[in-house]
Amino acid sequence: MALISSGSGKSAKSSMSARARQQKRLNKGLGRQFGTIKRPGLIPEIKPADENEEQEAEEGDEEEGEEGEEGEEGGEGEEEYEYVEEEEEETVVDEEEKARIEKQKLLAASTTSDTEIINNLLNKGYDWRVRPPGTNLSLSGSHGPVVVSVNMLIRSISKIDDVNMEYSVQLTFRESWVDGRLAYGLPRDNKPDFLILTAGQQIWMPDSFFQNEKQAQKHMIDKPNVLIRVHKDGQILYSVRISLVLSCPMHLHEYPLDTQTCLIDLASYAYTMDDIEYRWKETEPVQLKPGLESSLPSFQLQNSSTTYCTSKTNTGTYSCLRTVLTLQRQFSYYLLQLYIPSSMLVVVSWVSFWLDRNAVPARVTLGVTTLLTITTQASGINAKLPPVSYVKAVDLWIGACMTFIFSALLEFAAVTYISSRKFYKKSAEKSSTTGNALLTTHPMTNTPLLLPPLGSQVGGTSSTLGASCSDEVWVKQRPSVPNQVMVVRTPTLSTPGAFGIPGIHGVGVPGIGVTVVGSERDPMILPLRKEKSSTLGSCFRALPPFSYIIRHLELADSAKKVDYVSRILFPMCFIVFNIAYWSKFGR
């Protein structure tokens, strides 16, 4: 019985050791399959058992088998339990490590897939110097031209120069076309939807240029502001941020109340319409940055539209796209800096009409100063404009203001001339008169009066003053009743009445058709007989400006007449000019 029990215990232990060796060989094979991986905390290091160790283990098992059945049975149970627990732990660790290794392999494959795809596309017969075929498969050969879809985002518009007729614009320019040679996948495969090319990876691109461009630059801070995106179906998107200085021919006929139209023309430089066809994007071909319409310094962007401008040259017909920007000049600046100051200068020049004609220094200084000021203002305005050959709206305004100011200065010269001429004429008459000629002044207005000589006889009908009234003096008065003249009879003369009435002297005043009579003792004041006038004329005379002019035209002093008339005539003419000007050029 003892032999049997020892044999059975020995066979059990040998089978257990054989299973342990088999598990070790399995672990060793897994390590070779997945490579030698030593990561602390992930996989326990698997070491193959040496033959000497196996023999020692077998000898130890035999020595232990020679012990009693009870000890063998107890030891066998403990070793079997420990082995089963260790085997389960190693199996769980191996499964987790397998999952991690597979995940790492997938991540490594995904990170290198973009580079591998790009290398496969660009390094296997792709020539970036040759344009791709078109998308119209019904046409043989190259399948038609490459259709390039264009749209842009206008970020800012600044520095609108009227002298050089140019403006600056910053925009994001985008082009999209199909290059079938760069297609790398199907719609629902596991490949990425698009790839982004970096600097140095060249593909074919349209040779677009701006026809009215003077200067241009790409932005390189902090990295080149360029995007090239390749989709799996071969669709290419090219986006770049650029700043342009574009020419804008301006028509300044209505400056500064004008509206200018500036263009952005895009075309291909070398490819004709047989190779490239430009088209605007169907939705929002031109986008504007929010707030761009009112952010311009001196203009306001009213509208932006798109059209086509296909051009024909000696080398062929080229596809062209055009962006039309409608810019309206803001008027508030010119209203405050030009129109109001110039109007004030014109009004200031009218102050000389209220100054006495003997105040020569004041009136000359006022007229010359306003004239020089308006001339300086006109020079400042023209310095901001190109030397065009046509007349602008601002030229009309400045010219009119300068004319009014210069006319006010000429009016003072006319007043001075008339006054001087009258004075010298009176002096000559004083020196040549004899008899009872008397030079006196009016008692109310202090106006010089030259009394005619007494006793001058003129035969027949008198054209001015008859012989019967040669001893009378005409005096302009301001009686209570308007349009009356008082005739003063000299006390030394007694002439029978000219009209058959004793003691009454009459005179006919030529030109106005009135008869004025006076007695020897007391002067008589009779109303003047008014000539009949039309209803329209009476209406005009009833108006305050016309009545003022008519009333002051009756003055004996011609120099004062000019000043009185100018006070009304100049403002009325300036008002009429403003009505005509703003009706023509006003918005």
Q: Which domains does the chain have, with CATH numbers?
A: 2-119 (no CATH), 146-330 (2.70.170.10), 334-429 (1.20.58.390), 448-555 (no CATH)
Q: How far apart are CA 553 and CA 420, in angstroms?
A: 19
Q: How far apart are CA 11 and CA 1, in angstroms?
A: 15
In sequence order, the β-bridge partners of residue 474 are 487
Is residue 519 within a helix (H) or strand (E), and if so which, with residue range? Answer: strand 514-519
Sorted by sequence, the CB contacts under 8 Å of residue 177 that are 6+ apart come out as 132, 146, 147, 148, 149, 206, 235, 236
* Strand residues in 197-310 grouped as ranges (E): 208-210, 213-218, 226-231, 235-247, 259-268, 276-280, 286-288, 299-308
Q: How far apart are CA 532 and CA 86, in angstroms?
A: 141
Q: What is the pLDDT of residue 554?
A: 57
Please give the C-alpha separations between residue 543 and each of 366, 529, 568, in angstroms, as whole numbers.
31, 22, 12
Count of beta carbons in the 10 Å neighbourhood of residue 340: 11
Q: Residue 514 carries which side chain, given as an amino acid letter? A: V
Q: Residue 150 carries which side chain, given as an amino acid letter? A: V
C-alpha torsion sign, points 65, 71, 72, 75: negative
Q: How far apart are CA 264 and CA 213, in angstroms?
A: 8
Cis peptide before 222 (omega within 30 of 0): yes
Sorted by sequence, the CB contacts under 8 Å of residue 65 that are 6+ apart come out as 6, 9, 10, 13, 72
- Phi first, then psi: give them for residue 264, nearest 5 degrees: -130, 105
Sorted by sequence, the CB contacts under 8 Å of residue 97 that are 6+ apart come out as 34, 37, 42, 43
Cβ–Cβ under 8 Å, residues 414 and 560: no
Show the tokens assigned to 217: 């630059």
Nearest residue to 326 via CA among 275, 263, 391: 263
Q: Write the DSSP symbol of residue 453.
A: P
Nearest residue to 303 via CA among 284, 329, 326: 326
- Phi first, then psi: give them for residue 35, nearest 5 degrees: 90, 165
Nearest residue to 524 via CA among 540, 507, 539: 507
In sequence order, the β-bridge partners of residue 158 are 168
Show the tokens assigned to 129: 């110097």
Show the tokens assigned to 179: 């290059």
Q: How far apart are CA 378 and CA 307, in angstroms?
A: 40
pLDDT tens-digit series, residues 493-503: 444 444 444 44
Percentage with pLDDT > 70 across the chain:
59
Q: How far apart are CA 469 and CA 498, in angstroms?
A: 8
Q: Write the DSSP symbol of residue 251.
A: -
Q: How far apart are CA 265 and CA 251, in angstroms?
A: 19
Residue pointed to by tokens 């660790």: 93
pLDDT tens-digit series, residues 160-213: 999 999 999 999 999 999 999 998 888 888 888 889 988 778 899 999 999 999
Residue pointed to by tokens 């790492």: 104
Question: 574: buried, middle or exposed (CB in 10 Å: 19+, 13-18, 0-12)?
Answer: middle
Q: How far apart are CA 375 and CA 377, in angstroms?
A: 5
Which segments in the chain show pLDDT lower than 50?
1-13, 30, 32-54, 56-57, 60, 62-85, 111, 434-439, 442-446, 450-451, 454-532
Show the tokens assigned to 197: 């090319």
In sequence order, the β-bridge partners of residue 327 are 260, 301
Question: What pTM was estimated for this model as a whole?
Answer: 0.60
Q: 511-517: long-range contacts at Cβ-Cβ below 8 A with a sequence spacing of 24 or more?
A: 514/485, 516/485, 516/487, 517/487
